Structure 1
Amino acid sequence: MKKTILFILAFGFVFSAQAQFPLGGAVQKPKVTGRITAVILDSLTKKPIDYASVSLLKEKDNKSVNGAVSDERGKVSLQNVTPDQYKMSIGFMGYKSRIISVKTTPEKPDLNAGTIYLSPTESTLKEVAIVGAQALIENKVDKLVYNAEADATNAGGDATDVMRKVPMLSVDMNGNVQLRGSAVRILINGKPSGTMANSVADALKMIPAEQIKSVEVITSPSAKYDAEGSGGIINIITKKKTAEGTSGSINATAGTRSNNGAFNFNVKTGRLAVTTSLGVNHAYPQKSNVVLFNSSVINGVTNTVSQNGYSDWSRVGYNGSVGLDYDINGYNNISSTVKLNRFSNGGPGTNDILVNQVLSQNIRDNDMSFNNMDWNVDYRKTSKKEGEEFSISAQLSTGRNESEFTNRFLTAGVPEIVQFRDNTGKNNEYTLQADYTYPFSKTTTLETGLKGIVRNIVSDYDLNAEDFDYDQNVASAYGVIGFKLTPKITAKAGLRAEYTMIDGMAGNTQGFNNDYFNLFPSLIVSQTLKGMTTIKLSYNRRVQRPSLFYLNPFRNESDIYNPLEGNPKLSPELTDNIEFGYSTFIKGSVINASVFYRSTQDVIESSINPVTENGVNKNLTTYINVGTSQSYGFNLFGSYNPKPKWTLMSNFGLNTYEVNNAANNISTGTLLNYTIYARSAYAFSGGWNTELWGVINSPKRTFQGKTDAMYFYGGAVKKEIFNKTATIGLNVLNPFSRDLNIKTNNSTATSVQRTDIHYPLRSFGLNFSYKFGKLKFTEKKTIKNDDLKKEDQGGMGGGVQQQK
């Protein structure tokens, strides 16, 4: 009943808001609008001119009402044009500007202005051709953008490989991503994915690098975003966007570590657009050598367990999507997308085990699979007032993950022992969201909206088929206003309110519930200084709710001496962030620097606990709210071009780690984490591109121990062929070392746990890509569920997870 009342109140205003739209006046039936299209060509070469600017001005008063830039084919499209008499102004650097008259009528709102030729200026005719390149890194007011499609070395990899080269991010050997040493929320095209609810690291491995257009790093999200992600938000933008005409791309990679394939196809005719994509990934079985040591003192008796063995894991996955986009008219648009994901990994392994000088052998097999479907329906309404927009979105996400393992224990003189366990988890999520944007003026804009999320998680976690049944419902509302304090100072202030209701049952007796209300303020103030220099000060509050991985009480005993289980009674993390940023452009060079402070309550970390079960001593790993964390940090990014075709780039990030809990006598002291990234890229004539890069991640700390530093390095060479419609290349990763050696040490007052893993990382890959047509991307308002803390896939302070 409580849930029903909450959502009725939350969304009752949606239809009333739409009925009053536009704001501040009586309802008016919008006039029919259309579009004006044209093709901009060089008058001498007859080749397309991309990025030519086109402005539409009213004939009677020269007031600008619309504008756009041409794409790679020289095509430009002006949308939402009210029938009238206009002047169209076309210009581009190095060409003479042109002004032509155009007219649209209610009977014929759409107009094709045909081909428009621009003549080069005399100075341009004397110059050699100027070749432009897309910037690899873009620094915007509220985010930093890494343009992955401009990076030659991404071919043949997956999203994990791309993330390793994004400024401010750190990625461990399992593919877990952190932003400046803290948890981060990852979105795909602004939307959550059901796959991410199970395993972020595995989901990233499913996305071929060739499908990624760019990665947005949002360190100071406004209240418009869901409050999830204590460190910020990472938004992966893929290439499967709405495109004019017929276009697509094919990418394929064959390598020693993994094989990837990606296909994208887009069709747009009139007001209807259809997009499709398919990606596949297959990783060969490769051995990871694993050495483990446990020591614990229970009832005054010291017990030791030594293990030496290997795991032989493989991975296969695919993802596909189909999307429809239809412009009902110039004011109304509806779109829908269905995404399917399938992923599985696992394989055999063997460990020689020495328990208090008794030798045995464990022959094991471990398999995990994930199946997910995301279905979105979005409606968007604009008006003749530029910038005004209303949207309503619905999303259904269904996920199913299965995990099973088999252990065979062989000991001389003892009958063989066989252990089998499996777990099936189901995660269903329903979301409804409404957003409204109203520009009071050119300098002041209001954004507001409501959102409701209903989640249900069911997991068969016990040998007696007991269920973990977990319901989480979140209702939220936000308001954000952006305005100019002075011509050079811009501010954006907002407040988000979220009410969370949780109830569940673990087995037949462990019932629990937890309702809480939070306010999440945000403030960003940005000032433009002399030249192209900007400073920014921001504050926001964030939350990190635990996801299924942390909550699921299923006991994973694929390593019987280091079992792992979740904790359904975890509280969410609450984080306050303050950041000061500075960015400037000096003669083509980019410098971006920031300092920040972060305070987090109820930090969630893994915890090892020595236990004795059925006469066997174990180090049980679970998850707890450790305490309060204080962290200070600094980040510096720079890009420099010694020569026009040579780019040097580096990023350095440093942050402190400290956790305290007086009640449990926890005090880690202040420790340092750092990340270093360096890149050198050179473009030769004839379509050749080369690159070398390297990443260093410092030792990672937890309240019980640390994992050693990790080093990644690689290079690539790529050649454009078939008149620049295709490329072929070679990528290498860690070519001089087969394995990445990672050592982890954790300890409590009565136990020690050490692991030494040799993870196979070296790889060589040949890649080929081909594109046909030209894509013209358009963005749509989308649902963004940003409120769940994802797992870090083990390896830190807990039971040893098999490497993938």
Structure 2
Amino acid sequence: MKKILLLCAGLLIMFNAHAQFPMGGGGAAPKVTGRITATIIDSLTKQPVDYATISLVKVKDNKTVNGGVTDDKGKISLQNVAADEYKLTIGFIGYKSKTVSVKTTLQKPDFALGNIFLSPTSNTLNEVNVVGQKAVVENKIDRLVYNAEADATNAGGDATDVMRKVPMLSVDINGNVQLRGSSVRVLINGKPSGTMANSVADALKMIPADQIKSVEVITNPSAKYDAEGSGGIINIITKKSNAEGVSGSVNATAGTRQNSGAFNLTAKTGRLSVNTALGTQLAYPQESRVVFRNKTTANNVTTDILQDGISDWTREAYNGSLGLDYDFNAYNNISTNAKYTRFYNGGPGTSGISTNGVASGKIVSSTDMSNGNLDWNMDYKLTTKKQGEEFSISGQLTAGKNTNEFTNDYQTSAGTPISYIASNNVGENKEYTAQTDYVYPFSKTVTFEAGGKAIFRNIQSQYGAGTNQDFDYDQNVGAAYSTIAFNLTKKIQFKGGVRGEYTAINFSNSKNDYFNVFPSAILSQTINGKTTLKLAYNRRVQRPSLAYLNPFRNEANQFSVFQGNPGLKPELSDNMEFGYSTYIKGSIINASLFYRNTKNIIETVNKNDVSGKILSTFENVGTTQSFGFNLFASYNPVPKWTLMSNIALNTYEINSRPDFKGMNEGTFLNYNFFMRSANSFKGGWNLEFFGVVNSPRYTYQSKTEPMFFYGGAVKKDIFKKQGTIGLNVLNPFKRDLHIETVTQGDNNYQSQNIYYPLRSFGLNFSYKFGKLKFTEKKKIKNDDIKQDQNQQGGQGGGMGQGK
């Protein structure tokens, strides 16, 4: 019944918005508009003329109604052209001006002029260079934007390399991204996906850096966004183009640690655009050493078990996508996109076992974890002649299937069997979403937004055929929001809003319904056009995902088992921020102070199991508060040399539940330093070095020791800057990175030492032909789910942790 009510509420919001913003069927018929296209060619060399100036003049009153400049292929496309008679004038330095007659009608609103030849004048200039440079970092009222396309060192490589350069972000050795010490949701063109949900690190490695236009860091999402967790939102915007014809790119990396490849192809003709992409990532199996110690006390008897083992861990990933985009006219657009991704990680391992200091045997293990995800969306968008007015309806289906299989053969040192454990878990996640949004600009400085959304989620987990150990979990969310943005003065802007979300949860004959209101507000003041001050507040929520909820008892490490908790409550956080940014002679400084208070914080806790083993699970351990500071600075000693630094500090302090015992009571400091030097040289050469320092990381029961890693790259433009080739290195002087984590609970102690084979050398190649088109539409954004940061199907048994 609740599903029906939520769906009706979502549809009612859509129909109400539709009624306020008619799309035909009543009232005056919308005026049909079209487009005029042309290609400007040099009559002597037969080469395209880029940056030629185009003007469209109405014959009746001789007024200019449209215009633009040609791209580097000599092409131009004028949009929103009403049916009438026109004169198209073309002009450029060193060429004779030319005028062409154009007539469009209601029946044929589009007009393709084809090739138009310009004749050079007698005093043609030998060379004309037109250069436009966009700022690498832009500060907007509700986000910070890193313009990746303006940074020449991003040629080659993948999205992970780009993310390390983005202000306020920190990237660990595996490519997982954090913002201000917290996990963060990563969107592609405003859209989440099952790929990112399963492994942000792997998904980023399959996005070529050349395809990224910009990265938006949204520390204070407005009410328009889902009430996502306290960390914030990262939105990766891919490049787009209106180029006709066929275009694409090829990217490949081969190295000692991993290999990857990506292929993108776009075909565009008139109003229709079709794009497809294929990608893969393969990590070589390399030996990882893991030393795992479990110490428990029960009835005044202490058991101390030490595992020292080697595993060969393999990671593989494949993806493919197909998208269609069609403009009915200048105001109506429909698009659809489907993407499937499959990941696999696992491998064999062997570890020696000692009990209370005496060798007691060995474990021969095998782990197989895989998941497949399908994301399919359909979007309709309607715009009007009023600049900025927009109405959209979107639908999305996300389906995922995760498999976790393991075997543990526990033997004596001589090979005599002691015990054998095998298990299989299949988890399925289905999500259906309907969303509508409406944007109305009352004026150039006042904009109103409103919308609604309905999400229906079902999670199922099966522990094995023929058993009753099944988990069926329904979570349905209905939401509505409104925001308004306006200028208080010429230099002070305000953007605020409120979002209401109703959540209905049903599992194992248990129900949990709740309603939350999420306000947000931002004040921004500009000083002298170069300095900006911000003051912001918002409230967020983060609901646990399948990895947190799944009650499957994972005994891949039979001395330390893992199990999810379906009774988890969502985290609720209140966030405040004061920000400062300025530009001084090409240098950039961005600094912010923030405070975050999170209730029902979800963390991993260790308990003594009834069987005498250590049980790791998730719990709402209490309330945390954190004060923090971020500083990003970029400086150019000389025009082609950039020095960049990103510093993040935040405190950790928890007011825990009285029934949990932890090792970290008090206030602790987390910090992250990122330093980078990048040089550009003549001939298309680029050289860069970077280093990352991570402080100890704390939870209530655990501490992960600090770590440091570093790397560099040299790149060369080839094929007239259509391609790049480069060499990347990571930790070249030391094979392993030692990562130590100690966890202490009530009458139990656990330590894990991973010797991670980090050193790598890789050769990358990228080549682009024509122009790529990535359609950037308004997409559904489901950002409310808290994801497991290990991204390896829970704890993965503690042995053989990955590559």
- Report the TM-score when normalising by structure 2: 0.91
Whether 1:767 aligns to 2:770 is no
Aligned-partner Cα distance in 2 for 1:205–1:726: 19
SS in 2 for 1:195: helix
Shift of 1:746: 1.5
1:42 and 1:49 in contact (8 A); partners too: yes
Q: Which moved more, 1:764-773 or 1:26-35?
A: 26-35
Aligned-partner Cα distance in 2 for 1:45–1:482: 51
Shift of 1:444: 1.2
Aligned-partner Cα distance in 1 for 2:172–2:539: 26
Whether 1:468 aligns to 2:466 is no
- For 1:84-103, list aligned pairs within 5 A: 84=84
1:197 and 1:547 in contact (8 A); partners too: no
1:242 and 1:266 in contact (8 A); partners too: no
2:605 and 2:745 in contact (8 A); partners too: no
SS in 2 for 1:14: helix
Shift of 1:319: 0.7
* Cα separation, partners in 2 of 1:312 and 1:187, compared to 1, 3 Å: same
Matched to 1:390, the amino acid is: F
Aligned-partner Cα distance in 2 for 1:128–1:241: 24
* Cα separation, partners in 2 of 1:624 and 1:155, compared to 1, 3 Å: farther
* Cα separation, partners in 2 of 1:442 and 1:132, compared to 1, 3 Å: closer
Whether 1:37 aligns to 2:32 is no
SS in 2 for 1:602: strand
SS in 1 for 2:565: coil
2:272 and 2:326 in contact (8 A); partners too: yes
Aligned-partner Cα distance in 2 for 1:760–1:718: 25
* Cα separation, partners in 2 of 1:250 and 1:419, compared to 1, 3 Å: same
Other-structure match for 2:105: 106
Say how many residue pairs are matched: 793
Deviation track 1:573-623 (CA, whole Å, cap 9, x = no partner) reads: 11111112222222222221111111111111111112241xxx3221100
Other-structure match for 2:385: 384
Deviation track 1:236-272 (CA, whole Å, cap 9, x = no partner) reads: 3345877532110011111101111100000110111
Other-structure match for 2:498: 495
* Cα separation, partners in 2 of 1:117 and 1:582, compared to 1, 3 Å: farther
Matched to 1:673, the amino acid is: N
Other-structure match for 2:169: 169
Other-structure match for 1:703: 700
Aligned-partner Cα distance in 2 for 1:314–1:202: 13
Aligned-partner Cα distance in 1 for 2:680–2:28: 56
Shift of 1:655: 1.1
Other-structure match for 1:526: 524
Other-structure match for 2:586: 588
Other-structure match for 1:508: none
Other-structure match for 1:434: 436
> 5+ unaligned residues in a row in structure 1: which ranges?
506-510
Other-structure match for 1:741: 738
Matched to 1:683, the amino acid is: S
- For 1:302-451, list aligned pairs within 5 A: 302-356=302-356, 357-411=358-412, 415-451=417-453
Shift of 1:188: 2.3
2:206 and 2:262 in contact (8 A); partners too: no
Aligned-partner Cα distance in 2 for 1:98–1:779: 35
Matched to 2:453, the amino acid is: K
SS in 2 for 1:627: strand
Other-structure match for 1:541: 539
Which of 563, 566, 569 is equivalent to 2:567? 569
* Cα separation, partners in 2 of 1:741 and 1:483, compared to 1, 3 Å: same
Which of 707, 714, 718 is equivalent to 1:717? 714
Shift of 1:130: 7.0
1:10 and 1:450 in contact (8 A); partners too: yes
1:307 and 1:353 in contact (8 A); partners too: yes
Aligned-partner Cα distance in 2 for 1:147–1:97: 37
* Cα separation, partners in 2 of 1:683 and 1:155, compared to 1, 3 Å: closer
Shift of 1:475: 0.6
SS in 2 for 1:486: coil
* Cα separation, partners in 2 of 1:710 and 1:439, compared to 1, 3 Å: same
Whether 1:628 aligns to 2:630 is no
Other-structure match for 1:782: 779
Deviation track 1:318-358 (CA, whole Å, cap 9, x = no partner) reads: 11100011111222111111101111011011111101224
* Cα separation, partners in 2 of 1:9 and 1:128, compared to 1, 3 Å: closer
* Cα separation, partners in 2 of 1:160 and 1:531, compared to 1, 3 Å: closer
Aligned-partner Cα distance in 2 for 1:582–1:91: 44
* Cα separation, partners in 2 of 1:156 and 1:327, compared to 1, 3 Å: closer
Aligned Cα root-mean-square deviation (Å): 3.4
Shift of 1:90: 8.9
Other-structure match for 1:558: 556
Deviation track 1:214-253 (CA, whole Å, cap 9, x = no partner) reads: 4321111111111112110112334587753211001111
2:368 and 2:406 in contact (8 A); partners too: yes
SS in 1 for 2:488: strand
Q: Which moved more, 1:487-496 or 1:427-436?
A: 487-496
Aligned-partner Cα distance in 2 for 1:223–1:602: 22
> 5+ unaligned residues in a row in structure 2: which ranges?
none
SS in 1 for 2:3: helix
Matched to 2:584, the amino acid is: I
Matched to 2:334, the amino acid is: I
Deviation track 1:525-563 (CA, whole Å, cap 9, x = no partner) reads: 222210322222221111111000111111221111121
* Cα separation, partners in 2 of 1:129 and 1:330, compared to 1, 3 Å: closer
Whether 1:656 aligns to 2:668 is no
Whether 1:142 aligns to 2:142 is yes
Aligned-partner Cα distance in 1 for 2:55–2:450: 30
Deviation track 1:604-644 (CA, whole Å, cap 9, x = no partner) reads: 1111112241xxx3221100111111111111111112222
SS in 1 for 2:613: strand
Shift of 1:720: 1.5
Other-structure match for 1:604: 602
SS in 2 for 1:192: coil
Aligned-partner Cα distance in 2 for 1:7–1:574: 25
Aligned-partner Cα distance in 2 for 1:95–1:455: 62
SS in 2 for 1:3: helix
1:242 and 1:273 in contact (8 A); partners too: no
Shift of 1:155: 6.8
SS in 2 for 1:549: helix
Aligned-partner Cα distance in 2 for 1:491–1:696: 37
Aligned-partner Cα distance in 2 for 1:81–1:790: 47
* Cα separation, partners in 2 of 1:126 and 1:275, compared to 1, 3 Å: closer
- For 1:444-459, list aligned pairs within 5 A: 444-459=446-461
Whether 1:675 aligns to 2:677 is no
Shift of 1:430: 0.5
Shift of 1:301: 1.0
Deviation track 1:622-678 (CA, whole Å, cap 9, x = no partner) reads: 001111111111111111122221111111111111111264477731111111111
Q: Which moved more, 1:200-209 or 1:181-190?
A: 200-209
Other-structure match for 1:637: 632
SS in 2 for 1:435: strand
Shift of 1:13: 3.6
**Matched-pair identity in %:** 62
Deviation track 1:674-716 (CA, whole Å, cap 9, x = no partner) reads: 1111111111111111111111121111111211122221111
- Report the TM-score when normalising by structure 1: 0.91
1:605 and 1:623 in contact (8 A); partners too: yes
Matched to 2:427, the amino acid is: G
* Cα separation, partners in 2 of 1:52 and 1:571, compared to 1, 3 Å: farther
* Cα separation, partners in 2 of 1:250 and 1:67, compared to 1, 3 Å: same
1:156 and 1:259 in contact (8 A); partners too: no
* Cα separation, partners in 2 of 1:794 and 1:685, compared to 1, 3 Å: closer
Shift of 1:776: 4.8
* Cα separation, partners in 2 of 1:466 and 1:407, compared to 1, 3 Å: same
Aligned-partner Cα distance in 1 for 2:66–2:578: 35
